[in-house]
Amino acid sequence: MNISSWKRIVIKVGSALIAPKQNGCSSRYLLGIAQFIVRCKSMGIEVVLVSSGSVAAGSHLFDDKKEVNMAMKKAMAAAGQMEMMATWDKLFDFPTAQILVTHGDLRDRERYVSIKETILALLKNDILPVLNENDTVTTDKLKVGDNDNLSAMIAAAADADTLIICSDVDGLYDSNPHENPDAKLIAKVNHIDASIFSMAGGASSAVGTGGMKTKVQAAQKAVAHGIDTFLINGFTEQSFNALISGKNPGTHFPSSQQPMKEHLHWMTHTSTAQGEVVVDNGFNAGLEDDSDQLTSDEIVEVNGDFSVGDTILVRKDDGTRLAKAKSNYSSCLLSFIAEQDDKSFASKLQNTTGPIISENNIAVLEEK
């Protein structure tokens, strides 16, 4: 690895580093991370920080912790976010900025582009963007759920070339190092498949919400966008010294040699399907080559409530996922066309209105 080639990096810091004892924020582990960020900036590398920890940072301000419901967690997040930002801000001699997002913001193309523009404007003005999920307002429907995957989405939005995910272990092991002293560290993962996911266990920290699985998921998202990803131990300063020296202190997930186009990556890894179009099991059209082959004749059913421009899932009746795509039809109109017995009428209507999905707005999915 060659740190001199880095132009823009995203570093993800978890709750266990922010508030290790859930008694407010602590600079114990953050000092080393802050020094790494300062050193990167001194080398001309732009940095974006994705920081968890608002709930963990704010929990000590609440007396009754026996029955912590969702409203209480949101209140903890609201209080803790202020303390967390204040802690980060005092560690730097340059300005920081707070950006709170939900998955609802990221999966909406217009808001996604707005987030991208804000991040780039802050970097241009030498201001450190600090992002976190907006736990105070998010719901189950709108949340990402973990900041590992959020960091990968932000890395893609920010056009970063490197993503650094801090963990409580040195990297990805072939088994849980907290349970197996003979577990071996995997220094490099060239391809993320089922065997890699099988090595990812649950979270060992009682503070954070993300385990090793979410970190591998994040790496998968990032490398598909052409982003080198490193999983390192954020609790030790040696990890960051190694990175500065051009050494790999943990697990390196090299970027894809053929990264996905930006809007297709967004559709595959960030946008959520608002509905689905189920086609006949015999459907064999090459969606990426000629989307006009998908006609109402092949549609078995239309599920969900979606509008023109929403992302939908195209799958076969047997459950095989074919693609995610931008729909040129609402679910209401598409259902109406698919239900017509008069196929000539359906064909005439579709010829007038246009293709169901357009060739340049289809992300073909790989079989898992």
DSSP state string for 175-216: S-TTT-TT--B--B-SS--HHHHHH------SS-S--HHHHH
The confidence score (pLDDT) of residue 203 equals 45
The confidence score (pLDDT) of residue 348 equals 67
The confidence score (pLDDT) of residue 276 equals 94
Q: Are residues 222 and 106 in the same domain?
A: yes
The confidence score (pLDDT) of residue 126 equals 97
The CA distances from residue 142 to 101, 103, 166, 345, 363, in Å, are 10, 5, 25, 39, 22
The domain boundary residue, chosen from 214, 240, 265: 265
The confidence score (pLDDT) of residue 288 equals 58
Q: State the 10-residue block means of pLDDT for the chain, 368 residues long.
A: 90 93 88 97 97 90 79 91 95 96 90 96 98 84 81 96 94 87 93 89 46 92 96 96 95 92 88 91 66 73 93 92 91 87 65 76 73
The confidence score (pLDDT) of residue 141 equals 66
The confidence score (pLDDT) of residue 209 equals 43
The domain boundary residue, chosen from 265, 282, 309: 265
Cβ neighbors of 155 (< 8 A, separation 6 or more) are 10, 48, 163, 222, 225, 227
The confidence score (pLDDT) of residue 89 equals 95
Q: Are residues 180 and 249 in the same domain?
A: yes
Q: Are residues 211 and 320 in the same domain?
A: no
Task: Read off the CATH number of the domain in which 131 is found.
Answer: 3.40.1160.10
Q: Are residues 167 and 81 in the same domain?
A: yes
- Whole-prediction pTM value? 0.85
Residue 156 domain boundaries: 3-265
Q: Are residues 188 and 103 in the same domain?
A: yes
